Chains A and B, each alone.
Chain A
Amino acid sequence: MAAKLGAIFFSMILVNNYVLIKFLGICPFLGVSKRLDSAVGMSLAVTAVMAIATAVTWPLEQLLERFDLVYLQTIAFILVIAVLVQLLELFLRKFIPPLYVSLGVYLPLITTNCAVLGVTILNIDEGYTYLESIVCAVGAGLGFLLAMTLFAVVRSRVEEAQPPKAFEGMPITLVSAAIVALSFTGFGGIVENIFGS
């Protein structure tokens, strides 16, 4: 049990990294990774929303299955995520203002972040149990954090470089993302070997 959870957790961070390997949440990855502090803030907010959204959508899916309404999955999930993000924002603003100042500003962006909808749907597709789903969501969020942080640092160096004129801005960012992603492909197989699953 613990081994399986560990395998899911670490493979979400290293092997199946959402941003670099599965291409979910590329917009914030390219947009918010300019500064290290905003990259970390954004990723922590994403991790929290992913975990809460999974905790709510997994039971919801059981309910949909029970009433034979699985075709409503997409609509139901996106609305639940939108409502959750709003609620979380209100809650933070009212009760934990310091956290709201540091993380809350990123919340509205997250509704349309495909990584959040992606993790809730993929958890159902993989047939994970409730606990496994939540571990998977937290792992995915931390993987997002790792990719954002690493890339923010890489990017601060790229910004100072002088690429050919046509590569300035977006193209050189994408090419450097390719190299960061290449380094993550090196993790393939490691987690399976350690946890023996």
Chain B
Amino acid sequence: MNEKVKIVWNGIIKENPSLRLVLGTCPTLAVTTLAANGLGMGLSATFVLICSGVVVSALRNVIPGKVRLPAYITIIATFVTVLMMLVKAYLPALNSSLGVYLPLIVVNCIILGRAEMFASKNKVLDSALDGLGMGLGFTLTLVLMGSIREILGSGTLFGLNLHLPVEPMIVFITPPGGFFVFGILMAGVIFLEEKTGQRRERKAGCAGCPSAEFCQAKESE
């Protein structure tokens, strides 16, 4: 497979940020009550991932190692601000349904993680492609989560009434439903991994956190 295609594909399947790396869990759970919200959140994060990847990669020889984390956060926050202005101006409905989770893209660990693990070590084009792949992987997971929760919880998909023969189960659009669907979805992915014999260890918290290297709170287990 072409080297460039491989980078994009890596983010979608091999290192899917939500389901395999367990990063960016907060938006995955919070905004997926509707498939359309998941799509909006995913594409917003993709925009920030690509832009911040390009800038971090272009500045990788300029930013001193010691202050790289604050520098990355500032770059990411800049693009999130640009994104917020665009969404507020052109998609006001999305702005109100994503609410506080839009500015919170700043602290989404997928973006900081990719800046630290990929963009700071690779060329500009590769970093943009990595951002695209990771963003699409994140978007796919969010749309999948959103679709499941919307179909089961309100009987619609992207706002279209599906006329299901059963009553919608409201619990799926409540917060507990979010945890539940995500758990089941991840179990499904692990089931497929076991079938193909490539189960990936899920590390949450410190081990999975991109800033673990900077942090002395690493759990000594």
Contacts and interface: CB of A to CB of B under 8 A. Distances in A.
A74 B106 contact: yes
B92 interface: no
State which size class the interface on B falls in. Answer: 35 or more
Contacts of B184: 171, 175
A21 B206 contact: no
A23 B30 contact: yes
A42 to B, nearest CB: 8
Nearest to A38: B219
Contacts of A21: 175
Interface string A104-126: 01111101111001100110010
Interface in A73-114: 73-75, 78-79, 82, 105-109, 111-114
A27 B205 contact: yes
B73 A178 contact: no
Taking chain A's interface residues, is the majority helix, strand, or loop, or is none over half, making it mixed? helix
A169 interface: yes
B159 interface: no
Interface stretch (A5-13, A50-58, A134-142, A179-187): A179-187
Nearest to A113: B107
A71 B78 CA distance: 10
A131 B170 CA distance: 36
Taking chain B's interface residues, is the majority helix, strand, or loop, or is none over half, making it mixed? helix
Interface string B5-38: 0000000000000000010011101100000000
Contacts of B81: 71-72, 74-75
B175 A165 contact: no
B74 A75 contact: yes
Interface residues of A, number: 54
A27 B190 contact: no
A109 B211 contact: yes
B186 A181 contact: no
A3 interface: no
B28 to A, nearest CB: 9
Interface of A: 20-28, 30-32, 34, 38, 71-75, 78-79, 82, 105-109, 111-114, 117-118, 121-122, 125, 164-175, 177-179, 181-182, 185
